[in-house]
Amino acid sequence: MNISILAVGTELLMGKTVNTNATYLSEQINALGHNVLYHLTVGDNPVRLKDTLNYLLEHSDMVVTTGGLGPTQDDLTKEVICETLDLKMEKHDLAYNMLIERFKQFNVEMTSNNIKQAYLPIACIPMMNQKGTAPGFIAEKDGKYIAVLPGPPYEMKHMYENSLRPFLEELSDSVIMSEYIHLFGIGESSAESVIDDLITDQSDPTIAMYASVGQVSIRVTSKANDFDTCYERIQNTTAEIVSRLEPYVIGFGETSLLDETIKLLHDNYMTVALAESCTGGMLASELIQFPGASQYFDLGLVTYSNESKMNLLKVEPDILETYGAVSAETCEAMLHGLRHLSFSDVLVSVTGIAGPTGGTPDKPVGLVYIGIMLGDSIQVKKFNFTGDRLTIRKRSMLNAINMIREALKP
Amino acid sequence: MNISILAVGTELLMGKTVNTNATYLSEQINALGHNVLYHLTVGDNPVRLKDTLNYLLEHSDMVVTTGGLGPTQDDLTKEVICETLDLKMEKHDLAYNMLIERFKQFNVEMTSNNIKQAYLPIACIPMMNQKGTAPGFIAEKDGKYIAVLPGPPYEMKHMYENSLRPFLEELSDSVIMSEYIHLFGIGESSAESVIDDLITDQSDPTIAMYASVGQVSIRVTSKANDFDTCYERIQNTTAEIVSRLEPYVIGFGETSLLDETIKLLHDNYMTVALAESCTGGMLASELIQFPGASQYFDLGLVTYSNESKMNLLKVEPDILETYGAVSAETCEAMLHGLRHLSFSDVLVSVTGIAGPTGGTPDKPVGLVYIGIMLGDSIQVKKFNFTGDRLTIRKRSMLNAINMIREALKP
């Protein structure tokens, strides 16, 4: 089915709000095997809304609208749709009772403006709003569908998942499946060049790459008439990709570098302690972002100044003077200092030049040393990262996490 | 002038990319006094692109397109536009020389595919791409304008700022100015209710509110025929808003809570040391995000476990047992412990329950104590934050920064 998405709201045209609704709905709708033909955004203007609605209905089998369902005079999506499609409205008991329920729950008095929200087209399928007051609906006219969703993303997503998705699933005749392969330690373009032929030749499965700082994920998606075909195609392509990129693969599906690393700490009943310089607490903050962090996180030190490295970590002034704060020697001395302050199984130290100032020809911005101590074994790695200050700090943080993962993986 | 924005790219309709270009351009175009009537997104499909282009040209004075300017066969924006508007193309020397320059700079060989990028409509205004290879252009046909920009946001923004904005400024007959008022310590809806009448009555200046975790900003914008009128209107409205929200105002224009706080540390030649529990390094990481942080940042400790609080900060086991790790007493003891490890002027400690687990009826999730020591003076504040784990940690971090700001402000 060919579907268009129509967003209603002047705030979108003012550039105050990003239309993430269109992106969310498009990903969802494509995953069900339907096609998205157009995104269109129009302001709270009845003439233009009517005009665009007609345009999209003419060019698609279904139009999904978001926004303009509130109780105020600005909110006119429902009224304009009904006028355009010549649909009569009536008070729907289900919608009315939901409204009363919702206002009780929010402890707010219901006004006559709110009662207009209970009016929906006579022959429609109402969609209940579990997170707000405005109900939505699905209506049909001359073989075309229109689905009306609220604008706030949180309300919209709940309504889509509970009401519109099951409806769209019924209307789709294909099965869609995806697998994700997560990589670390290779850039997007390098990874792409390794599987370039698979991407170029793709018809099904399709291969898509996603990259954020330091991390690359590959999505393999297949669309077929039956589950078994879908599954087999995905297995084959995934196996081929993994065979080419094996050293960089950190996991599949719903996982991440951090998830994998914390899982290893948990599984090994190990705790970690940190001495951070250029990452400045970012590594600690990342590691404790999940509840239960106290089981694997002991202590973090942000020894940003030379004084704190000497006073707290007992790094010898000699070492700092001879080799500098950003050196393999200081990085290792930080680990030894940390050893006296923590009994943790895994110790990690980071020191580097995040920039944009402070670089020299010998020690440029982006030079970072990361050290790890596990039992008696010490490893210090040297990195030359590119990017701005935040990117260099993030890359340092992620590579420190990866060094924990590599040290612990079976 | 009424302007529409047309995004070209199948990846947008697949839900892989959010159309932030439309948001950016809309904010910019509105700020110049022009109106944005529609956003439309269409895939890399010549028939649909031609059709939507005609629709938008019919309904607006200018269409701005983004995307589809690359060297591959998929990239067809320019060709379809020229066909639709019946514009002949020729090789533009300026564009060709820029391409040669760009490829030298990127150290990549130029292919015949790339040469097609130097072809532009004969009578157009070329727009140079300083961040990529694809040039853009502005063309006119029957009194309507079309402006063609590349898709990658970084390239698009540079081209807009350097070439399209000056063109649009010429065509605008009004002056637009904005002032920003930044607040801390008050929620968006509370702030809104205080200036509700100003918002409801607004015609000019207009008042818009922006909120992120713990921070609220108010934008006051005026559009007038001359600078003086604009300026006076903004001054009057800003003064009225400030008089009502004075205790929460942290600054104006291009500033933030963090900027104001670091400025105070700089101005007072002061350094800071931290002992963090629930924020877990987030506060340190936030404070050192600017270069030159070593001038005001001494030391950060992430004492997440009770052991680390006892071992490193010498918090008495008695205090932890009697009052608990999340208590005013522990928070103060952390400051005293930190005093023995750092000579910093400002000491800050944070301890709390970030959740989602670990809460009790007496000490619910969101209970956070933040302590600050300046000279001999100690202050410990108790907070009850709402939100998920990350939000509670962020609110704690921001309120700790605000306590530094309040302690140092003249």
Taking an 8 Å cut-off on Cβ atoms, the answer to whether A300 and B281 are in contact is yes
Chain B: closest CA distance from residue A279 (Å) = 7
Contact list, B40 vs chain A (CB under 8 Å): 38-41
> Distance (Å, rounded) from C-alpha A297 to C-alpha B196?
47
Taking an 8 Å cut-off on Cβ atoms, the answer to whether B291 and A52 are in contact is no
CATH number at residue A127: 3.40.980.10
Among the candidates B171, B206, B235, a domain finishes at B171
Show the tokens assigned to B145.
């304008």
Q: Beta strands B2-8 and B62-66: pairing type?
A: parallel
Taking an 8 Å cut-off on Cβ atoms, the answer to whether B280 and A283 are in contact is no
> Distance (Å, rounded) from C-alpha B183 to C-alpha A346?
42
CATH number at residue B219: 3.30.70.2860
Looking at the structure of chain B, the number of domains it has is 3
Contact list, A38 vs chain B (CB under 8 Å): 13, 40-42, 48, 52
CATH number at residue A337: 3.90.950.20
- Of A58, A308, A95, the residue nearest B274 (C-alpha): A308
Q: In chain A, pLDDT over 70 holds for what percent of residues? A: 100
One domain, residues B245 and B282: no
Contact list, A24 vs chain B (CB under 8 Å): 15
Q: Choose from A2, A305, A392, A394 for mutation: most chain B CBs within 10 A.
A: A305
Q: Is the pLDDT of residue A6 over 80?
A: yes
> Distance (Å, rounded) from C-alpha A34 to C-alpha A139?
18
One domain, residues A121 and A230: no
One domain, residues A307 and A362: yes
Chain B: closest CA distance from residue A93 (Å) = 31
ipTM topping 0.90: no
Q: Looking at the partner chain, which of B15, B40, B354 has a beta carbon nearest the beta carbon of A40?
A: B40
Res B252: pLDDT:
94
- SS3 of B381-404: the string is EEEECCCCHHHHHHHHHHHHHHHH
Is the CB of residue B263 less than 8 Å from the CB of residue B188? no
Q: Is B84 exposed, middle or buried (0-12, 13-18, 19+ CB in 10 A)?
A: middle
Q: Beta strands A272-276 and A297-302: pairing type?
A: parallel
Q: Looking at the partner chain, which of B17, B24, B301 has a beta carbon nearest the beta carbon of A15?
A: B24
Q: Looking at the partner chain, which of B16, B42, B210 has a beta carbon nearest the beta carbon of A38?
A: B42
Res A171: pLDDT:
86
Show the tokens assigned to B8.
């070209």
Chain A: closest CA distance from residue B280 (Å) = 5
One domain, residues B144 and B221: no
Closest-approach residue (CA) in chain A for B44: A37
> Distance (Å, rounded) from C-alpha A350 to C-alpha A336?
13
Res A172: pLDDT:
79
Mean pLDDT in chain A? 92
One domain, residues B307 and B209: no
Band of pLDDT at residue A1, cut at 50, 70 and 90: very high
Contact list, A28 vs chain B (CB under 8 Å): 15
Is the CB of residue A18 less than 8 Å from the CB of residue A156? no
One domain, residues A85 and A196: no
Is the CB of residue A389 less than 8 Å from the CB of residue A277? no
Residue range of the domain that includes B247: 175-252
Taking an 8 Å cut-off on Cβ atoms, the answer to whether A41 and B38 are in contact is yes
One domain, residues B150 and B188: no
pLDDT digits (tens, 9 = 90+) for A196-216: 888 887 788 988 887 777 788
Q: In chain B, pLDDT over 90 holds for what percent of residues? A: 69
Band of pLDDT at residue A224, cut at 50, 70 and 90: confident
Chain B: closest CA distance from residue A123 (Å) = 30
One domain, residues B6 and B140: yes
Upstream peptide bond of A46 is cis (omega within 30 degrees of 0)? no
**What are residue B223's DSSP bridge partners?**
B176
Taking an 8 Å cut-off on Cβ atoms, the answer to whether B280 and A284 are in contact is yes
Among the candidates A209, A237, A252, a domain finishes at A252
Low-confidence ranges of chain B (pLDDT < 70): 73, 106
Would you call B175 helix, strand, or coil by DSSP?
Answer: strand
Contacts by B81-84, CB closer than 8 A, 24 or more apart: B81/B53, B81/B139, B81/B146, B81/B148, B82/B121, B83/B50, B84/B50, B84/B53, B84/B54
Is the CB of residue A221 less than 8 Å from the CB of residue A176? yes
Closest-approach residue (CA) in chain B for A355: B291
Contact list, A43 vs chain B (CB under 8 Å): 37
Res A337: pLDDT:
97
Res A361: pLDDT:
92
Contact list, A292 vs chain B (CB under 8 Å): 357
pLDDT digits (tens, 9 = 90+) for A78-108: 999 999 999 999 999 988 998 888 888 767 7
Res B204: pLDDT:
87
Would you call B195 helix, strand, or coil by DSSP?
Answer: coil
Cα angle B186, B189, B193; round to 5: 100
Is the CB of residue B300 less than 8 Å from the CB of residue B341? no
One domain, residues A96 and A40: yes
Band of pLDDT at residue A368, cut at 50, 70 and 90: very high
**What are residue B297's DSSP bridge partners?**
B272
Q: Is the pLDDT of residue A125 over 90?
A: yes
The answer for residues whose C-beta is within 8 angstroms of residue A155's C-beta and 6 or more apart is A129, A131, A132, A134
* pTM for the model: 0.74
> Distance (Å, rounded) from C-alpha A117 to C-alpha A102?
12
The answer for residues whose C-beta is within 8 angstroms of residue B295's C-beta and 6 or more apart is B266, B271
One domain, residues B62 and B134: yes
Among the candidates A143, A170, A197, a domain finishes at A170
Res B300: pLDDT:
97
Please state at what angle helix A46-59 crosses helix A77-85, rounded to 10 degrees.
60
One domain, residues A26 and A163: yes
- SS3 of chain A: the string is CEEEEEEECHHHHCCCCCCHHHHHHHHHHHHCCCEEEEEEEECCCHHHHHHHHHHHHHHCCEEEEECCCCCCCCCCHHHHHHHHHCCCEEECHHHHHHHHHHHHHHCCCCCHHHHHHHEEECCCEEECCCCCCCCEEEEEECCEEEEEECCCHHHHHHHHHHHHHHHHHHCCCCEEEEEEEEEECCCHHHHHHHCHHHHHCCCCCEEEEEEECCEEEEEEEEEECCHHHHHHHHHHHHHHHHHHHHHHEEEECCCCHHHHHHHHHHHCCCCEEEEECCCCCHHHHHHCCCCCHHHCEEEEEECCCHHHHHHCCCCCHHHHHHHCCCCHHHHHHHHHHHHCCCCCCEEEEEEECCCCCCCCCCCCCCEEEEEEEECCEEEEEEEECCCCHHHHHHHHHHHHHHHHHHHHCC
pLDDT digits (tens, 9 = 90+) for A321-366: 999 999 999 999 999 999 999 999 999 999 999 988 889 999 999 9
Upstream peptide bond of B205 is cis (omega within 30 degrees of 0)? yes
Q: Looking at the partner chain, which of B55, B280, B291 has a beta carbon nearest the beta carbon of A389?
A: B291
Res A24: pLDDT:
96
C-alpha Rg value of chain A to the nearest Å: 28
- Would you put residue A43 in left (φ > 0), alpha (ψ -120 to 50) or beta? beta
Would you call B1 helix, strand, or coil by DSSP?
Answer: coil
Taking an 8 Å cut-off on Cβ atoms, the answer to whether B23 and A18 are in contact is yes
Single-letter code of the amino acid located at A345: D
Give the HSE-up count for residue A402: Cα atoms under 13 Å, Cβ half-sphere.
Answer: 20
pLDDT digits (tens, 9 = 90+) for A153-209: 989 999 999 999 999 988 877 777 889 999 999 887 788 889 988 888 778 898 888
Res A229: pLDDT:
92
One domain, residues B17 and B152: yes
Closest-approach residue (CA) in chain A for B278: A288
pLDDT digits (tens, 9 = 90+) for A54-67: 999 999 999 999 99
pLDDT digits (tens, 9 = 90+) for B60-71: 999 999 999 887
Upstream peptide bond of B317 is cis (omega within 30 degrees of 0)? no
Show the tokens assigned to A19.
């239309």
Chain A: closest CA distance from residue B298 (Å) = 6
Q: Residues A369-382: what's their mean pLDDT? A: 96
> Distance (Å, rounded) from C-alpha A107 to C-alpha B405?
37
Taking an 8 Å cut-off on Cβ atoms, the answer to whether B305 and A285 are in contact is no
Closest-approach residue (CA) in chain A for B279: A285
The answer for residues whose C-beta is within 8 angstroms of residue B256's C-beta and 6 or more apart is B182, B215
Q: Residues A101-117: what's their mean pLDDT? A: 78
C-alpha Rg value of chain B to the nearest Å: 28
Res B373: pLDDT:
98
